[in-house]
Amino acid sequence: MADRRPDDPGLESVSQEAKLTQAHTALLTQARLKTKAASMRRQPELPRAKSVSLLVTGGPLKGHSFPLRKAQVVIGRAQGDIVITDSQISRIHCVIEVHGVTGLLLDLDSGNGTFIDGRKTPSAELDHMSEFRIGKTTLMFVVSGR
């Protein structure tokens, strides 16, 4: 679960578990197969000697950090491992899979899309300090030593 303060209007106090549908799982499998890195085609796995988090670099929650404690994390407005109250984010918006020190970002057919460098993308590989935007929120994929 993310670091959250109950007085924060942009964060829900408890994550709402989001189950990926068969359609979402099929999209994820296709995205894995399209990646250039062979390591992304295997099951997701957190790195052993490093920690991975999402840092909010833009939008109403700027400065917040969401440590990733699972190798597959769903982000959404109403359901997910990370819940961000932003009217432009879908209920279940995207998923990030961690594969060691890299990530696989997949848009789950959201209404407003997921953007990297201003371009709408269905999926993307994330390296340390890669940024992406969902709704009004910009997030950075960060890998650091423990």
pLDDT digits (tens, 9 = 90+) for 118-137: 999 999 999 999 999 999 99
Question: What pLDDT does residue 1 have?
Answer: 37
Q: Stretch 28-50: mean pLDDT, rounded? A: 74
Tokens of 115: 């953007």
Q: Stretch 41-64: mean pLDDT, rounded? A: 92
Confidence grade of residue 79 (pLDDT, cut at 50, 70, 90)? confident
- Note the residue count of the chain: 146
What CA–CA distance (Å, rounded) separates 121 from 97? Answer: 16
Residues whose CB is less than 8 angstroms from the CB of residue 48 and which lie 6 or more positions away in sequence, other chains included: none
Confidence grade of residue 49 (pLDDT, cut at 50, 70, 90)? very high
Backbone angles phi, psi at 27, to 5 degrees: -60, -40
Question: What pLDDT does residue 12 have?
Answer: 43
Helix or strand or coil: residue 26? helix
Question: What pLDDT does residue 25 have?
Answer: 72
38 burial type by CB count under 10 A (0-12 exposed, 13-18 middle, 19+ buried): exposed
Tokens of 12: 């829900």
CB 138 within 8 A of CB 131: yes
pTM exceeds 0.85 for this model: no
What CA–CA distance (Å, rounded) separates 112 from 137? Answer: 12
Residue predicted with more confidence, 38 or 80: 80
Helix or strand or coil: residue 142? strand
Q: Stretch 88-95: mean pLDDT, rounded? A: 94
